Amino acid sequence: MALTRGPFRDGSLARLYRGITLTHVHEVPMYITTRRIWKLRDGEVASGREVPLQPGRHEMEEIPNPTGNTIPWFVLKGMKIGLPKNRFEAFDGLAGDDGVIIDYDP
């Protein structure tokens, strides 16, 4: 099924962000389930202050890396608080408290 309205506020399917063209990556919500407190970084602050993420299921989205690196970030939906995508993916499906579950089901 094709999107008739894009995911961005103006209804577009893409927009320019810091010189990078953003496009809609996922058509369904993305969630990350954590079992321990994770220290995420605030991508809007140059120092990258740490923000604790409590255990539980959190809606996330993928954005271009706010530090200019090529690896995109998984961030809390509507915010720039998160970590590089590969950091979460390295822990996806691991047993124990360090493991996370990345899923795309609502």
User: 36 — phi, psi (to 5°)?
Assistant: -140, 175
What is the per-residue pLDDT across 58-85, written as a single tens digit (0 to 9) for each? 999 988 888 888 888 999 998 889 999 9
What is the per-residue pLDDT across 21-59, written as a single tens digit (0 to 9) for each? 555 444 567 899 999 999 999 988 777 789 999 999 999
Element spanning 39, H or E: strand 38-42
Burial class of residue 38 in the structure, from the number of CB atoms within 10 Å of its CB (0-12 exposed, 13-18 middle, 19+ buried): buried
Question: 59-94: b or e for each residue (b if 16 or more CB lie within 10 Å)?
Answer: ebbebbbbeeeeebbbbbeeeebbbbbebbeebeee
Domain boundaries, the chain: 28-103
Question: What's the predicted TM-score (pTM) here?
Answer: 0.68
